[in-house]
Amino acid sequence: MRVLFSSTWGHGHVFPMVPLARACLAAGHEVLWVTNEPACRLVAEADVPVIAAGLDTRGVREVEVRNRAHLQGLAPQDRAAFAFPTMFGAWATPAMATDLLATGRAWRPDLLVHEAAELASPLVGAILGVPSLTHSFGGAVPPAFVAEAGERLAPLWAEHGLEVPPYAGAFGAPYLDICPPSVQPVDLSHIPVRQPLRPVPWSGPPPVELPPYLRADDRPLVYLTLGTVNHQAAVLRPAVEALASLPVRVLVTLGPGGTSDALGSQPSNVTVQQWVSQVQVLEHCDAVVSHAGSGTFLGALSAGLPQLCLPQAADQFRNAGAAVRRGAGLALTAEQASGRAIAEAVLILLGQPSLRTAAREVAAEAAALPGPTQVSALLATLV
C-alpha cells in the first residue's frame, strides 16, 4: 500500500503524525510525506521520505507576517478563529493543492493522510478517487473554524468541477483522533466516524547520552517551555524568575531562534536550552509549565505529569480549559500570570496529589488507545 502523508509547516503539526508514518513504513508500506519547505528537515530526521510542496520558506514567512498583522487587534483567545480558515485555509491551501495533486498523479497513492490544518488533501483525494483521512494534532479543531475554511476554499474546489463538501471534506473518512476523550475540548458530534489513536510523543531523535540536567537529583525537576511559536522572552522571563526562587531544578527551553542572552544570567538551579528532546525530558521531570500547545499538553498527560498552562494563542486556551476540568492541571491567563501566581501554582502542582493522580489517569486512558502499529494495519482495510 502507498500512503501519502501531508502537513503544514509547524512542529506541532508535523510531530503528531510521525509515529503513524513510521509504523506504516515498519509494516512494509510505501510512504511519502509532502510538506512545506521549512518542515522537510523535521520529517527527514524521523527517517520518513519527504518532498517539499506548497509555500516555500519565503512564502511561509510572508503568510505568517500577514497573519500576525491581522491578529493584532484581536484578543489572544479569538485569534485562532481567524488564523485557521484564513492562513491555513485560504492562503496556504491553493499552492499545496497544486503540488500535492501533481505528486499524487505521479506517485499514485492508495491512501492520503493529512493533519487537521492541511486542507488540500481532501480535494486531491476527491480528484484522484483516493480516500483522505484527517489525523488530529491534539484536540479537534472547532467545527465552525473548519466549516469557514470550507467556504473559503469553495472556489478552489469549483476550479476542478467539484462542490466543496461539509467541513472542507475533512471528515469524509475516519477521523484519526489522538486526544484522550476525557480531555477532548471540542464536541465531536459533527464527525461521523472516529478512529482513536494513541498519542505517541515525538520530538525528534533523542540524544544518545542522558544530558547532565536530567540526571538524578533530590530536588524536583520542573520543565518550562512556551513551544516553538509563541515563545517571547517577555513572557518567559517572569516565569523563569518565579521558578528559580523555588527549591526545584528548572529546565527552560527558548524555542527556535531563542538565545540565552534574552533571559540574562541564571542561578545554578536553572538550565536554559534552545531545544531539548521533550520526549526524553518528560520521562525525568515532575511537573510541566507550558503554553499548553497540543504537543506539550498531550505529552505531559501521556507521561502522567501535572501541568500549569499559560496559554498564549491557537488551541492553547481550549487545552488549558480541558486540563483544569479534568483536574490534571492549573491555568493562568496572561493577566493572572504574575511571578507570585506562577510560583504558587507550581508548588500546588508538586504538593497536591490529586493533580498527579488525575494526570496518571489520563496517561492510562491514552495508553489504552490503539497504537500506531494497530492503526496502520486498519488503514489497509480502507483501500
Query: Would you say 327 and 260 are in contact if contact means Cβ atoms under 8 Å apart?
Result: no
Query: Would you say 176 and 140 are in contact if contact means Cβ atoms under 8 Å apart?
Result: no
Residue whose grid cell is 478563529: 81
Q: Is the pLDDT of residue 91 over 70?
A: yes
Q: Is the pLDDT of residue 154 over 80?
A: yes
Q: Is the pLDDT of residue 82 over 60?
A: yes
Task: Say which residue, 81 or 98, is predicted with more confidence.
Answer: 98
Q: Is the pLDDT of residue 166 over 70?
A: yes
Same domain, 169 and 71: yes
Same domain, 48 and 157: yes
Same domain, 10 and 156: yes
Q: Which residues pair with 250 in a beta bridge?
A: 222, 270
For the chain, the domain total comes to 2
Q: Which helix (H) or strand (E) holds 252?
A: strand 249-253
Q: Is the pLDDT of residue 139 over 60?
A: yes
- What the block records as the C-alpha cell of 242 is 518565579
Averaged pLDDT, 282-304: 93
Could you give the CA distance from residue 31 to residue 333 in angstroms, rounded to a whole number?
Answer: 41
Averaged pLDDT, 89-108: 96
Q: Which pLDDT band, with edges at 50, 70 and 90, does 325 fall under?
A: very high
Question: How does strand 2-7 pair with strand 30-35?
Answer: parallel
Averaged pLDDT, 324-350: 93
pLDDT for res 218: 83
Averaged pLDDT, 283-297: 93
Same domain, 102 and 154: yes
Residue 179 lies in a domain: no
AA letter at 150: G
Q: Looking at residue 91, which CATH number applies to its domain?
A: 3.40.50.2000
Same domain, 153 and 258: no
Query: Would you say 323 and 292 are in contact if contact means Cβ atoms under 8 Å apart?
Result: yes
Residue 252 lies in a domain: yes
Q: Which residues pair with 271 in a beta bridge?
A: 251
Residue 197 lies in a domain: no
Residue 103 lies in a domain: yes
Residue 108 lies in a domain: yes
Q: Which pLDDT band, with edges at 50, 70 and 90, does 264 fall under?
A: confident
AA letter at 318: R
Same domain, 342 and 230: yes
pLDDT for res 277: 84
Could you give the CA distance from residue 265 to residue 240 in angstroms, rounded to a whole number?
Answer: 11
Could you give the CA distance from residue 112 to residue 122 in angstroms, rounded to a whole number?
Answer: 8
Q: Is 329 exposed, middle or buried (0-12, 13-18, 19+ CB in 10 A)?
A: buried
Average pLDDT, the chain: 91
Averaged pLDDT, 179-188: 94
Q: Is the pLDDT of residue 202 over 80?
A: yes
Same domain, 288 and 236: yes
Averaged pLDDT, 81-90: 90
pLDDT for res 229: 60
| Alpha helices in the chain, H assignment, sequence order | 11-14, 18-26, 40-44, 57-71, 80-83, 93-107, 121-128, 143-159, 233-244, 278-282, 294-302, 316-326, 339-351, 353-367, 372-379
Averaged pLDDT, 1-19: 96
